[in-house]
A and B are shown apart, each in its own frame.
Chain A
């Protein structure tokens, strides 16, 4: 095996980092959070808005009381060390409160994607076998009666007074005003060791085999220390939590990160861009994480603003952008940028320090535009199997062409590199998962013999140890909305379309390029019967298009490649994907594909 040298650059430490809790003093996430709720008790922990109305502000002390009340209920139900507590909720204060109550009891938190269908959620619950489920009424109601019976304690918030809850119980007001009288004794805190499982996070939820990543407490403690050394979140900072909290990024940046530093988390019940920017203004948001798709929407808003300006004014803004670029060449300077580009900054609340954007395929030009406007986008890369973030740009200086350097505690190597240095990215360190729940086979496949995590991503390191991703060695995509999609899982959807054979590929798997990254898109490769007429080809394309439109937006294929060579298959008639991809790469160019449609995807 040919491995490039490991990189572990020293992270520049921000002075503000000293105001946060020191993760090295703790053995579990629950212990650190318990201390945070005491340490920062006078600060506001959560602010919730519904459109323009502020519906709730909770201090750390309020949160502490709500956590203890819920922990008491879990304890009364017999939930303790190692038991699993699933959470299916939209972004709101109750999500972290439920997680903190579970951690208090030494339980394992199982975040489930609330955007899955009830059936898909039930499949994951059947796999995780939690003893408790905490959910909210709009998400609970669509489950068929009895579908959640296997879970002994189901707690439902926001249930209308006359709602039929079956065996589920109500989780009422956070101050406990309307809750049934229980034991008044304070709950018992259950300590955990660093190697114990803290969470089970599903990295693929739709179709195929569920992959529940078992992440230990040490992974979160290490990740917290590394990320907040680069981007501290302290009292006075306001983090806007819009990515689903069940997702690794928000779990860290919108829950553990801010709470262990005394910062405030802002939740908004709607995600319409208009209300997002209004919230950024009214709550003076300083940090947020977004998916690439939302950056696109922000850019559209900025461009509309610029286009509406008279010509001379637009020229002035352009000139100011150049001045700003020069003044912030080495690192961002919020004051300079804000002064120079006030109207644009005000549209985003005027206080934004940094936008985190995960995903390998953030367009470089877009990130650069934001930086020129004085709105730093910190592009990072990570996967659930490695907690949250493996590499990130530290903005010293800003780089739009790379996903950054390995964070503290993460070792990174490029394996089996070709002549140009491109090989598979592999990771090692305390942030790695212990394995997939109840799946030794997939766990074995995920790691190398010497214990490194195979990411399935192809990339190379430059002279400054910045990682550049160029494609995938695994046939999968991460959509602009941050969902993992395995093409094999959606081939079945095209089963009704008549052709000789058909396969679905990730475009980045078929064609690995550099500089200009291949988009995260799906390509259908199909072979029609030999001598198919033009009319038959057209009929096929139309049928495929129709089947494609029936799929969930983020599962749709965006291009079609017609081939006339039979697919290589194994003895059991499975498609040999590697050789097929190689063969297609040799015989076709990207330009040979037929375009099926623009990528469209729901953000949340």
Chain B
């Protein structure tokens, strides 16, 4: 995994989240709190994660999600699985 691929992964994540919850992609940043920014509850967040898993072809176990609240945090989990 090279360094240049990481921002790309984050952009794809933000695009997916923006499309799913009808937000302009420019309004989202990697450091944002997912729940607050999208105005969603934890169940909606988990539903989004399933879409992320399908898109990237990875499986992230639920216990790894504990304490993860930002887009960058989710990207890191996905990256670890891809790597």
Contacts and interface: CB of A to CB of B under 8 A. Distances in A.
A601 B39 contact: no
A568 interface: no
Contact of A90 (B39, B41, B50, B63): B63
B59 interface: yes
B59 to A, nearest CB: 7
B41 A272 contact: no
Query: Chain A, interface size: which category?
Result: 20 to 34
A465 interface: no
A269 B62 contact: yes
Given A549-B36, A600-B35, A273 B47 contact: yes
B43 interface: yes
Nearest to B35: A600
Contacts of A294: 43
Given A115-B66, A600-B35, A601-B41, A272 B46 contact: yes
Contacts of B36: 549, 597
Chain A contact surface mostly = loop
B33 interface: yes
B14 to A, nearest CB: 20
A274 interface: yes
Interface string A102-146: 000000000000010000000000000000000000110000000
Contact of A138 (B41, B47, B59, B61): B61
Interface string B26-57: 00000001011001111110110110000000
Interface residues of B, number: 18
A159 interface: no
A271 B43 CA distance: 9
A7 interface: no
Contacts of B47: 272-274
Given A269-B62, A274-B50, A293 B43 contact: yes
A293 B41 contact: yes
A306 B41 CA distance: 22
Given A90-B63, A269-B61, A274-B50, A553 B35 contact: yes
A365 interface: no
Contact of B43 (A269, A275, A598, A603): A603
Interface string A144-176: 000000000000000000000000000000000
A51 interface: yes
A259 to B, nearest CB: 25
Given A138-B61, A269-B62, A602 B42 contact: yes
A272 B42 contact: no
Nearest to A597: B36
A138 B64 CA distance: 9
B50 A553 contact: no
A297 interface: yes
Nearest to B40: A600
Given A51-B59, A273-B47, A549 B33 contact: yes
A600 to B, nearest CB: 5
A50 to B, nearest CB: 9
A476 B74 CA distance: 33
22 contacts: A51-B59, A115-B66, A138-B61, A139-B63, A270-B61, A272-B46, A272-B47, A272-B49, A272-B62, A273-B47, A274-B47, A296-B43, A297-B41, A549-B33, A549-B36, A553-B35, A598-B41, A600-B35, A600-B40, A600-B41, A601-B42, A603-B42
Given A270-B62, A598-B39, 16 more contacts: A90-B63, A115-B66, A138-B63, A271-B62, A272-B46, A272-B50, A273-B47, A274-B47, A274-B50, A296-B43, A297-B43, A598-B41, A600-B41, A601-B41, A601-B42, A602-B42
Interface of B: 33, 35-36, 39-44, 46-47, 49-50, 59, 61-63, 66
Nearest first, the 9 closest Cβ-Cβ pairs linking A and B are A602-B42, A297-B43, A272-B46, A138-B63, A272-B50, A600-B35, A270-B62, A600-B41, A274-B50
